[in-house]
Structure 1
Amino acid sequence: MTPHHPVPALPHEGLIAVIAPAGPAPLDTEKAIQWMRARGHELRIFPGVYEKDGYLAGPDEIRLNDLHAAFADPEINAIICLRGGYGTPRLLDRIDFDLIRRNPKPFVGYSDITALHLAISRYAGFVTFHGPLLNADLLGDKEPPTVTSFFSLLRGQLKAGDVLSHPAAYPLTTVEPGIAHGRLLGGNLSMIAATMGTPYQIDAEGVILFIEDVNEPLYRIDRLLTQLRLAGTLAKLRGVLVGDVAGVDVEALNRLLKQTFAPLRIPVLSGWRSGHCDPNLTLPMGALVTLDAGEKKLMLEQDVVVSL
């Protein structure tokens, strides 16, 4: 399997862009700037962050222009999204993926931002990061592993062969034991399903699928997984890593996961604290990893960033 390209590491005192490709949220600009300065970085906040158009953070054109400008600007070392919500899929068929491919850099977000992780994976071929949003996570006083995980991956402190740490306070569950090697890809389950049948759907061949969700009762999770099964997506997978599925009973969820994945005879590990949860750990999308569901470990098989 061809690995996705690593991206340039976030350097010491590197500049981080803030964009809002999905929904709006009020931003305490001074708090955001001081928070990031305290950790050695400056912020460049793009115009769409201060826009609001109903449930969107400004008109499509502004959100699209911010996305393009953040990637194109050579001074910017990483990009973090303000929030999720909804709106990212509206941009997909207007994105200049040649521009993005020519300007790889760490791109971070989750929830609705999953649409961009899938699209960049398919059309630009470099690693992105399913990780904290600026408002809800970094400025939201989430547990320390949220910030530690974010910076350790973006700064290159974790290398090929390293095991991604998971807080012992949140035990993981082996749904199906086994070891799998593949590209880690996925994100929000509802968004993965919403892009099926489009040119931006997940390329699942040889993938270790990561899924998480929020505000979806168990029967809807069942429906979404069944959609992926009927589409032939699940049959292509090598393994599954399940993140937080907020609001769903854990035992009931694990029963559903066993029903869904046991016939495929692939390893499934559940309970990874990534997504709409606290802490919210960062995961490298598109990176080659090894999932050992029995030992409850996830190990990097490639460097996800490179120092220039």
Structure 2
Amino acid sequence: MSHIYIYSPSSAVRDKAAFRRGVKRLQTLGHEVEVDPDALSSHMRFAGDDATRVAAIARAAASGADVALTSRGGYGLTRLLKDLPYKAMTKAIQQGTQFAGLSDFTALQCALLAKTGAVTWAGPSVGEDFGCESTPDDIMEACFDDMVCGHGEGTGWTVPLSDARYLQARSKSGGLHIKDATLWGGNLTVLCSLVGTPWMPDIKGGILFLEDVNEHPYRIERQLTQLINAGIIGRQKAVVLGAFNRFKASPHDKGYKLQTVVDWVRAQVKTPVLTGLPFGHVATKVMLPVGHKVELMVQERQALIFWG
């Protein structure tokens, strides 16, 4: 049985039914669940004012839990970066607490990585994933369980046929093999908000993974262009794109779509850009160790990120 501490560092939990379902699901899976006293607090759009949410993060760090898991994402962590208890979080991680979340959680992950080099996990949240109305995704739960038990060694996926053709055009082997690269990234919008700040990790030769939700392809392109112009993508060994979903195409687009963005970015940089990573605001999501050294292998259409 694992001890999971649930806290709310970002937006307020509006869907309390989903939150309760998520807590119950984790308990059903055999975990001991401890809920932070301010997990359901609300202050404007936030889960409490800034001081309340910083205190909740500190309690998560002091909980001694196996996993400190966010209730949801949303917005709010970039407001807190100068006040986060970095030493306490790093000590907790060294003592075995795994901090996990996604979306707005990217701000905390990147800041912690930039300040201390500590490894956190990009993965599910309580409400959106464990608290969904249907049965939570089997792959998501299995990956989470592997992380909790310390058995996770990597994740694999099948890249689209267009990726295989792209890699074939890049080299005779048609594959890709990258060793000893730091895995980092997360939500594209949040990551771009950190550019030029002390909380943006200075990663060279890394593997940058990205996802986003409710962002039209032209906005995604604009943010990827910022990362290109800032020299960030060019310093990486690879970029891996997860899910970019829940946007609406416009008649104004005239054929402009997400693949257009991918093709354009590939034409701008020498860094290989892959797609199809099962991560983001989707039901099937893997766990990714942010800040960990990994190996990336792609052969034909089979991709693997390995850290075991």
| Contact 2:155–2:286 (CA under 8 A) maintained in structure 1 | no
Identical amino acids, percent of aligned pairs: 29
Task: Map 1:70-149 to 2 at 5 A.
Answer: 70-74=60-64, 76-104=65-93, 105-140=97-132, 141-149=135-143
Report the secondary structure of 2:186's partner residue: strand
Q: Distance in 2 between matches of 1:298 and 1:117?
A: 23
Query: What is the number of equivalent residue pairs in this alignment?
Result: 284
Tell me the residue number matched to 1:16: 4
Q: Distance in 2 between matches of 1:127 and 1:144?
A: 25
| Contact 1:131–1:150 (CA under 8 A) maintained in structure 2 | yes
Q: Distance in 1 between matches of 2:228 and 2:83?
A: 29
Larger-Rg structure: 2
Structure 1 runs of 4+ aligned residues shifted over 6 Å read: none
Q: Distance in 2 between matches of 1:33 and 1:278?
A: 17
Q: Which has the higher contact order (CA 8 A, sep 6+)?
A: 1
Residue 54 (structure 1) aligned to one of 41, 44, 65: 44
Report the secondary structure of 2:243's partner residue: strand
Q: Distance in 1 between matches of 2:198 and 2:9?
A: 19
Task: Map 1:1-308 to 2 at 5 A.
Answer: 13-25=1-13, 26-28=15-17, 31-74=21-64, 76-104=65-93, 105-140=97-132, 141-159=135-153, 163-166=154-157, 174=163, 176-177=166-167, 178-181=176-179, 182-247=181-246, 252-295=257-300, 296-301=302-307, 303=308
Cα distance, 1:251 vs structure 2: 8.9
5+ unaligned residues in a row in structure 1: which ranges? 1-12, 304-308
Cα distance, 1:30 vs structure 2: 5.3
Q: 1:195 to 1:27 in 2, by over 3 A?
A: same
Q: What is the TM-score of this pair, normalised by structure 2? A: 0.85
Q: 1:32 to 1:215 in 2, by over 3 A?
A: closer
Tell me the residue number matched to 1:306: none
How large is the RMSD of aligned CA atoms in angstroms? 2.2
Q: Distance in 1 between matches of 2:107 and 2:75?
A: 10
| Contact 1:153–1:282 (CA under 8 A) maintained in structure 2 | yes
Q: 1:30 to 1:225 in 2, by over 3 A?
A: closer
Cα distance, 1:50 vs structure 2: 1.4
Q: What is the TM-score of this pair, normalised by structure 1? A: 0.85
5+ unaligned residues in a row in structure 2: which ranges? 168-175, 250-254
Cα distance, 1:264 vs structure 2: 2.9
Cα distance, 1:267 vs structure 2: 2.5
